[in-house]
Structure 1
Amino acid sequence: MNQATPNNATKKVHFISLGCPKNLVDSEIMAGTLLKEGFEVVGDHGDADTVIVNTCGFIEDSKKESIQRILEMAELKKTGQLKKVVVAGCLTQRYKDDLVQGLPEADLFVGSGEFQNIAKILKNSDQGDQKRTFFNLPTYLQEEATPRVNSQPGHRAYLKISEGCMKRCAFCAIPLIRGNLQSRTIANIVNEAKLLAAGGVKELIIISHDFTDYGWDLRRKNPEAKESPVELLKALTEVEGIQWIRLLYLYPDGITPEMIELMKNNKKLVKYFDMPLQHVNDEVLKKMNRKMTRKEIEEALRIIRTEIPDAVIRTQFIVGFPGETQEQFEELLEFIAEQQFDRVGCFQYSPEENTPGGKMTDQIDDATKQARFEAVMEVQQNISRDKHRAFIGKTVEVLVEGFSEETDLLLQGRTSQQAPDIDGVVLINDGQANVGDMVKVLVTDSMEYDLIGEIVVE
């Protein structure tokens, strides 16, 4: 995370934030809380005496990465470089006692229901408190006044609008970790957006577990509550200084004609639909406890493309879900080729404890899952390559992010069709611009996921 130093700092803390952007916002809140209480947040673990590993516990690979990073930091304690390793986040919340027993190398364990108290926990530990574990129900919901350090480049920020999830997909452990849906009020969210805009943020990236369910819990408690996806978007588009509003995680069964109409006609709302479809075969969808059929999915895609022809559609699929036959997989593969999605993510099914999918007896072997994953990605790579070639000769608006991650000889930016960290970028090989500038770029070449071009001076 970006370095930030308060007056009279007493302890130096470094964050390792793993997993999704929602977890990253939790890290930013912990950092803001610590700064407010006199700690120093540093950008390198070599400068820290405390490291907080904010873990992910979503799928097997993310669990392994979390454990690996914890053990790496614990090794630094042996050299005397670090004094404390704190394990926080979803993995901690999910496995509690098992993790505490299995990782004696760590000093403190803070669940997703206690992370907001991190400053108090560290201070008490420094004063000799022997308590190592801090768990509670994940009912904490941030407010606009919650201290937070934006770890992203200054021109963009994630805006978390809710916690938990009301869906009960058979493959997902999120409700077990994060609890049921809890929505922030529109006023609360808009006030935070105004603070971010005042700090120079131009792009808001709206995150939750399902944007289309936003406000359902508040409306259930109070039928007169105004909180809904459309009303929230209307309010956010009125925030001065914000130029792009990007929505992530829109479940297709909640995308309404009113929402599409608003996104079609408001320039601030990026024409980008991030919709996790997971599969397309009706039997597999039912087994996953998804609430749409193939016919309904195709209708939702048709409406979006009819109303907003230039809309970018990003989706993800799971291959190797228990019982998925070769025929059902081939139906998925044909569907991807037919639909020509702009972006596709693919996951090999990971059986999770205490989920319906994890208890199913017809699990699929790893070799089959790997082969199906590779087949999906091969089809999508060809689609992506063709779609990017179509941009050659066109001029696109690009938000400049800084030097390329590959070389400081090139600038790097994104179009409105590219979300940070999950999509490709635009590499700029001619012209000058500052970080956060909006520039016009003539696309001169393309790769599978990236565009290459030069700044056009108007």
Structure 2
Amino acid sequence: MKRKIGIVSLGCPKNLVDSEIMLGLLKSCDYEITNDEAAAEIIIVNTCGFIESAKQESVNAILEMAGHKAGKCELLIVTGCMAERYKGKIIEEIPEVDAVVGTGSYSDIARIIEEVYAEGKRVVCGGLHGTDYLENSRVVSTNKGYAYIKIAEGCDNCCTYCIIPSLRGAYRSRRLEDIIKEAEILAAGGVQEVILVAQDTTRYGTDIYGRKRLSELIRSISGIDGIKWIRLLYCYPEEIDEQLIDEIAINKKVCKYMDIPIQHASDKILRLMGRRGTREELGRVISGIRERIPGVVIRTSLIVGFPGETEEDFSELFEFVNEYRFDRLGVFTYSKEEDTPAAAFEQQVPKRIKQRRHDKIMELQKGITLTHNAARVGSVCHAIVEGVADDGIFYLGRTFGEAPEIDGTVYFTSPEPLDAGQLVKIKILDASHYDLIGEVVNESAQ
């Protein structure tokens, strides 16, 4: 009889890919995948350990899943970044956990489970790994016409606030032909949008080829018949070059959408963060992208309340956001993470000030986003169907300007039934601060 296994995947899309790899490995070992944790005999919680709120979410999920030990759950396994970071503490402090599997042991997940069953003892595994584990078959869990492809592992940026290089190791690109093969498999399975992710996608290829090859990778993927959209996330501004901008501009399959995490705009704070750019250089990159890619949607992320951030520094950031008016923007309040250089910095900013600065930026961005969305009213564009809204009237979808999970939603009507993953043409009729409303104007796009 097959054992049922369920997984709770937390954190970023890169973590989701790891979860899907583990599910693929377990499925090939004759485990049955279930979305119902209450029915699972084995539950995996794939954790995030990036900032304090993510760690707390991970702990809460572990404790919630531990409650199923009173039911059918026989094994509770904790994996991911928090597992790598706190292997000993998790196994000591949460007795319901049977195994802790760090970021270097995903390929061994089936063996670890069998070991726990066979020997009846708790297991702790960790350490860094290469990228070979990413070449295993996946169980794509999105089921909405899109899938993420992780093109590299690790990070060389070493920002002073970030623990990721310690947990994931140095930057390691996958071979170009392996990524293309994965994209072909996804396309054959009905995926129409592939979203390229890494800690820094723009650095792709530099470690194994001696030069950037992201533009070449994009061109190769665009030659796959089933792929309709290619989207890029995590493009570091310091690594964006003219070749990449040109490829995005001329390649019809590439979404005119760029996710560029700038983090700040004060030169002083950027230096303290370990970032390589300056305010002037950031402005030049953003202006260049907009000039050469008409209609491009730019998303960024910021950190407010970094140690040493004065009111003057924050005003610089506020003015930068007001000047460059990003289409999409997310703000984090600085999280003091142990074992990072910034944790030892003086002039830590009080929580109430961090929150006030967060709220002030978000209020500014709310109006900016509404202006951008309102400008799209009356336009006609393609959208990928993600499902039906709770009211049963509207379909849910995304245009080129919305990435899954992090951006707004397009609510639209259709005279004909639609399936998740389908690509349709819609007209935008109305806009709110974050979402759009539209209607299908023709049959499914081919």
Most deviating of 416-425 and 123-132: 123-132
Matched, 1:87 2:104: no
**Contact 1:141–1:182, Cα closer than 8 Å, also in 2:** no
Matched, 1:75 2:60: no
Counterpart of 2:324, as a letter, is Q
Runs of 4+ in 1 over 6 A off after TM superposition: none
Candidates 434, 437, 441, aligned match of 2:422: 437
Counterpart of 2:126, as a letter, is F
Post-superposition offset of 1:219: 2.6
Other-structure match for 2:395: 411
Candidates 252, 255, 266, aligned match of 2:237: 252
Counterpart of 2:15, as a letter, is N
**Contact 2:5–2:34, Cα closer than 8 Å, also in 1:** yes
Aligned 1:391-406 pairs, distance under 5 A: 391-404=376-389, 406=390
Cα deviations by residue, 1:207-243 (Å, 9 ceiling, x for unpaired): 00001111111034xxxxx761122112111122101
Post-superposition offset of 1:136: 2.5
Matched, 1:66 2:61: no
Measured in 2, the distance between the counterparts of 1:423 and 1:296 equals: 26
Counterpart of 1:198, as a letter, is A
Ranges in structure 2 where 5+ consecutive residues have no aligned partner: none
Aligned-partner SS, 1:85: strand
Other-structure match for 1:122: 113
Cα deviations by residue, 1:32-53 (Å, 9 ceiling, x for unpaired): 1001001111011011111100
Other-structure match for 2:159: 169
Candidates 278, 281, 290, aligned match of 1:293: 278
Other-structure match for 2:213: 228
Post-superposition offset of 1:415: 0.3
Other-structure match for 2:375: 390
Post-superposition offset of 1:446: 1.3
Measured in 1, the distance between the counterparts of 2:245 and 2:191 equals: 25
Matched, 1:20 2:4: no
Measured in 1, the distance between the counterparts of 2:366 and 2:33 equals: 40
Other-structure match for 1:366: 351
Aligned-partner SS, 1:13: strand
Cα deviations by residue, 1:57-89 (Å, 9 ceiling, x for unpaired): 000000001001111111221x23321111111
**Contact 2:427–2:440, Cα closer than 8 Å, also in 1:** yes
Most deviating of 81-90 and 276-285: 81-90
Q: How many residues align?
A: 442
Measured in 2, the distance between the counterparts of 1:126 and 1:407 equals: 45
Measured in 2, the distance between the counterparts of 1:398 and 1:137 equals: 39
Other-structure match for 1:347: 332
**Contact 2:21–2:134, Cα closer than 8 Å, also in 1:** no
**Contact 2:147–2:195, Cα closer than 8 Å, also in 1:** yes
Other-structure match for 1:33: 25
Post-superposition offset of 1:434: 2.5
Post-superposition offset of 1:164: 0.2
Candidates 260, 281, 288, aligned match of 1:303: 288
Aligned-partner SS, 1:218: coil
Other-structure match for 1:426: 410
Measured in 2, the distance between the counterparts of 1:227 and 1:197 equals: 25
Candidates 128, 132, 137, aligned match of 2:128: 137
Measured in 2, the distance between the counterparts of 1:443 and 1:154 equals: 21
Measured in 2, the distance between the counterparts of 1:394 and 1:234 equals: 28
Measured in 2, the distance between the counterparts of 1:227 and 1:292 equals: 19
**Contact 1:143–1:188, Cα closer than 8 Å, also in 2:** no
Measured in 1, the distance between the counterparts of 2:438 and 2:415 equals: 9
Matched, 1:152 2:142: yes
Measured in 2, the distance between the counterparts of 1:130 and 1:83 equals: 13
Aligned-partner SS, 2:50: coil
Aligned 1:45-56 pairs, distance under 5 A: 45-56=37-48
**Contact 1:173–1:352, Cα closer than 8 Å, also in 2:** yes
Most deviating of 442-451 and 431-440: 431-440
Other-structure match for 1:316: 301
**Contact 2:262–2:302, Cα closer than 8 Å, also in 1:** yes
Aligned-partner SS, 2:209: helix
Post-superposition offset of 1:131: 4.2
Aligned-partner SS, 1:217: coil
Counterpart of 1:250, as a letter, is C
Counterpart of 2:431, as a letter, is S
Measured in 2, the distance between the counterparts of 1:400 and 1:139 equals: 35
Counterpart of 1:451, as a letter, is L
RMSD: 1.4
Measured in 1, the distance between the counterparts of 2:319 and 2:440 equals: 38
Counterpart of 2:80, as a letter, is G
Matched, 1:96 2:80: no
Distance 1:227 1:331, change over 3 A: closer
**Contact 1:56–1:62, Cα closer than 8 Å, also in 2:** yes
How high is the sequence identity, in percent, across the aligned residues?
Answer: 43
Aligned-partner SS, 1:142: helix
**Contact 2:411–2:438, Cα closer than 8 Å, also in 1:** yes
Aligned 1:193-204 pairs, distance under 5 A: 193-204=183-194
Counterpart of 2:302, as a letter, is F
Measured in 2, the distance between the counterparts of 1:209 and 1:104 equals: 33
Measured in 2, the distance between the counterparts of 1:20 and 1:364 equals: 26
Post-superposition offset of 1:331: 1.2
Post-superposition offset of 1:396: 2.0
Other-structure match for 1:283: 268
**Contact 2:399–2:410, Cα closer than 8 Å, also in 1:** yes
